[in-house]
Amino acid sequence: MITLCARCDNLHPDSKGKPPWRWMCSKHPRMEGYGFVTETQWDNFDPWLYCRDVNGGCCPLHEPKREDQ
């Protein structure tokens, strides 16, 4: 079964209204501080990893979206 972020309950609420390539996953927080490629390159990004970077189509952390009540 393919896991789609649009159908996942872990889509971070700050992603609402943004284009899909800017959606963030609340199960993947980004570590603070410098980048992990070099010791001096600063990562000044959102505090969560982008869904497009963590979901390869079979995400083990996928949770079906709960129905709105």
Cα separation, 45 vs 30, in Å, equals 9
What are the CA-CA distances from residue 64 to residues 11, 12, 37, 51 (Å)? 10, 14, 34, 15
pLDDT value at 69 more than 60: no
Q: What is the pLDDT of residues 1-26, one digit of tens each?
A: 899 999 999 999 999 899 999 999 99
Strands (E) in the chain, as ranges, are: 24-29, 48-50
Domains of the chain by residue range: 5-54
